[in-house]
Amino acid sequence: MKKVLIISAVFPPEPVVSASLSFDIANTVSEKHEVTVISPKPTRPFGFEFNDASLKFNFRHIQTDSYTCPQSSLFGRFKESYSFGKQCYKYIIENNSDIKIIYANTWPLLAQYYTVKAAKKNKIPVIIHVQDIYPESLTSKIPFIRSLFAFLLMLIDKYILRNASSIIAISEKMKNYLAASRKINNSKITVIPNWQDEKSFIEFRQKTNLKSDNAGAFTFMYMGNIGPVAGIDLLIDAFAEAELKNCRLVIAGSGSMRESLENKAKKINNAVIEFWSVPEGKVPETQSFADVLLLPLKKGASVSSIPSKLPAYMFSKKTIIACVDKNSDTADCIKKAGCGFIVESEDKKQLSQCMKSIVNLPKEELEKFGENGLLFAQKNLSKTANLEKVIAVIEESLVEKD
């Protein structure tokens, strides 16, 4: 059996998509090979409570004592990436003779850098799974990070990707941009969208036979991390401005912005806005209460990536309103699926008007949008469709290593 090292920035019991992706990959690879997973202690999403019960896996799992920073903090996130990267570097150097290949879905940029540096030093193939483009996504969120600092970060990312043996990108636009801007051969990059395990959604629908029309107030829902990039403040303002009767806005999840947004919502008297917690494993059930699912992102945050919540939204068979850049992969995905509406990122007036219009649509039309999304997700964004593609990249790298 060949020894595979998987480095993951998040891992179960963290209820986030990247954690599930890494687990699915580790679990499947361990059927044929000896797998070791390295991850930090669980902290994501911010505010989520983790119990002390240790999980049992079919592979070895090492949890580092590296620094963690679940809150949105530029310095803290860099320190977290550096700390975890150094621990992974040390492990690779000390165990290099036992490692045949490394798959890394880890923090940009420093954790990626130290992983690639150690792998290169010991001539170990390393697959880098790119979830977002750095430093560009950082400078779009924090405009003052430019000039020399951004230039140095770009040099680091070029080193990472040029020295990786293979790269997995999550969209065609990401692949093309990385190849052009980092001067990487297109053949080195494989496009595999992130997936959602459709099983829990299928089982929930079979168990409850829940129809898409919910009794009571028409429900707009956002579900996911309540952080600074999500743009949830826009949802609250647009919903309040719409002044819709017999409607409610539900913000479901946890994150660093939840408390401040709850305080903001309390000051609004003309709208029903509720905040829900989402217990582990209850995503399908929680989303079943929605009539429309909302996907807002700040400008520039969705240009070359597809948010992990989008497949989950589609598997819930709900109409989607995405408030994103219109030239983004997210917008393209929703257009291709025919599962909802797209308004320009951070356009409160347009979003409010869309909310007003959608409330008056016939129930059958909303159900059709939901059905379209489900069919698209099953074909393009499911675990069934995409997990085996990642496994193929790993297996191919193992063959090349021999």
**Centroid of chain to Cα 231:** 15
Please enumerate in sequence order all residues whose Cβ is within 8 A of that of 304, keeping only pairs 6 or more positions apart, or say none: 133, 171, 173, 174, 177, 328, 329
10 and 116 assigned to the same domain: yes
- Is the pLDDT score of 141 beyond 90? no
Contact 287, 319 (CB under 8 A): no
Residue 46's pLDDT band, with cuts at 50, 70 and 90, is: confident
186 and 104 assigned to the same domain: yes
User: From CA 289, how far away is CA 292, in angstroms rounded?
Assistant: 9
206 and 155 assigned to the same domain: no
150 and 229 assigned to the same domain: no
What pLDDT does residue 184 have? Answer: 96
What pLDDT does residue 301 have? Answer: 66
Q: Which of 22, 233, 12, 276 has its CA nearest to residue 127?
A: 22
Q: What is the mean pLDDT of the chain?
A: 91
Q: Tokens representing 275?
A: 């905040």
- The average pLDDT across 194-218 equals 79
Where is pLDDT greater, at 209 or 41?
41
161 and 305 assigned to the same domain: no
- Is the pLDDT score of 335 beyond 50? yes
Q: Tokens representing 204?
A: 């929930």
- Is the pLDDT score of 167 beyond 50? yes
> How many separate domains does the chain show?
2
Helix (H) or strand (E) holding 100: none
Q: Which of 109, 10, 21 has its CA nearest to residue 68?
A: 10
Helix (H) or strand (E) holding 251: strand 247-252
108 and 33 assigned to the same domain: yes
Residue 213's pLDDT band, with cuts at 50, 70 and 90, is: very low
- The average pLDDT across 226-244 equals 92
144 and 174 assigned to the same domain: yes
What pLDDT does residue 145 have? Answer: 56
Where is pLDDT greater, at 140 or 121?
121
What pLDDT does residue 212 have? Answer: 45
Residue 39: strand pairing partners: 63
CATH code of the domain containing 151? 3.40.50.2000
295 and 355 assigned to the same domain: yes
- Is the pLDDT score of 279 beyond 90? no
- Is the pLDDT score of 304 beyond 90? no
User: From CA 129, how far away is CA 30, in angstroms rounded?
Assistant: 19
210 and 177 assigned to the same domain: no
Quick count: other Cβ atoms within 10 Å of Cβ 116?
Answer: 26
Q: Tokens representing 186?
A: 């297109």
Residue numbers of the domain that contains 87: 3-195+382-401
At 310, which amino acid appears? Answer: L
User: From CA 36, how far away is CA 26, in angstroms rounded?
Assistant: 8
User: From CA 14, how far away is CA 41, in angstroms rounded?
Assistant: 9
134 and 217 assigned to the same domain: no
User: From CA 348, how far away is CA 233, in angstroms rounded?
Assistant: 10
135 and 209 assigned to the same domain: no
179 and 232 assigned to the same domain: no
